[in-house]
Amino acid sequence: MGGSTAAPSVRLLLDDWVFEDVAGMDVGELLSGAFSGRATTTKRHSFPFSSAGVLEHAVGGVRYSATRRLGPNGEPQPWERPLIAG
């Protein structure tokens, strides 16, 4: 768990989601957006039998996104359900 708001950038892991190069001072807002329902999750079909989820949230003028492969049933984790974009 290291890191500080003074770090130039960090890798942020939320369950299976990985955000790369998040500015240290944006981490708090990114986490707040992810857990307050202000972030969005969408589903993309990458192959005929495979789909991926994309978790996105903008902090200031920067849009952060993370992608993860969805399981066979494509169901989100319980904490992800409020984030699902219509």
Enter the pTM of the model.
Answer: 0.76
| β-pair partners for 65 | 56
Q: Quick one: pLDDT at residue 27? A: 94
Q: Quick one: pLDDT at residue 86? A: 47
- Exposed (0-12), middle (13-18) or buried (19+): which is 24, by Cβ within 10 Å? middle
> In this structure, which amino acid lies at residue 64?
Y
Q: Quick one: pLDDT at residue 10? A: 92
Give pLDDT < 50 ranges for the chain.
Answer: 1, 86
C-beta of residue 68 within 8 angstroms of C-beta of residue 57: no
